[in-house]
Amino acid sequence: MNLYFTAMRKIIIPYLLFSALFINKAFTQETGEKKGWPSAERNDFIIECIKSAKVNMNEDSARFYCYCVQEKAEKKYPAIEDVAKLSAADMQSPEWQKEIMNCLSGISAWSATDRADFLSECIASAKAAMTGEKAKNYCECMMFKVEKKYPSPADAGNITKEDLQSPEWKKIIQGCLEF
């Protein structure tokens, strides 16, 4: 296992899960509301996107690409009903082509092994606090967010507990809990 995953496993992944549980409880008590697409629709969008994208790229790249597209689509269309109205012609618009190219160009240097290691460690830890399916969805989302922020796996290994306590990371963790 890579050196950075050893550090990640010992420090970051357990902290991500602790933070996830704490933040989820705090946000639920604070607002009582959930914004954006429902979890099932997010997951369905990503699953269908991956199926389509795998025709032209490997599954790991397809997963990263689809999380990216889903994030952009949800931001642009907060109501899931609106995104369902998109046509093939809409997706060919210059605006969407730019977004698609941004997602394609953002595919990082993480290898399939890097991703598999992150997911297996995260899911194994998360299953202590949530169901297997919820753990998988949370960890795939966190993998995308970590990978997006740290295109090099070595850089991801340098995340500290202090980093994860920042408002930015708390928001990222909360967003992944909603998957």
**Each residue of 128-144: pLDDT tens digit?**
889 888 999 999 999 99
Mean pLDDT of the chain: 80
**Residue 143 identity (one-letter amino acid):** M
The string of pLDDT tens digits covering residues 77-109 is: 998 888 888 888 888 899 999 998 988 887 777
Is the pLDDT at 32 greater than 70? The verdict is no
Q: Which residues contact 12 (CB under 8 A, 6 or more apart)?
A: 159, 161, 164
> Percent of the chain, pLDDT > 70?
80
Mean pLDDT of 26-43: 63
> Percent of the chain, pLDDT > 90?
24
Is the pLDDT at 25 greater than 50? The verdict is no
Q: How many DSSP H helices and E strands does the chain contain?
A: 12, 0
Domain ranges (residues) in the chain: 3-34+109-177, 39-105
The string of pLDDT tens digits covering residues 113-129 is: 888 888 898 999 888 88
Is the pLDDT at 147 greater than 60? The verdict is yes
Pull the structure tokens for residue 5: 């995953």
Q: Which residues contact 153 (CB under 8 A, 6 or more apart)?
A: 2, 4, 5, 109, 110, 111, 114
Confirm whether pTM is higher than 0.75: no
d(CA 150, CA 59): 20
Is the pLDDT at 167 greater than 90? The verdict is yes
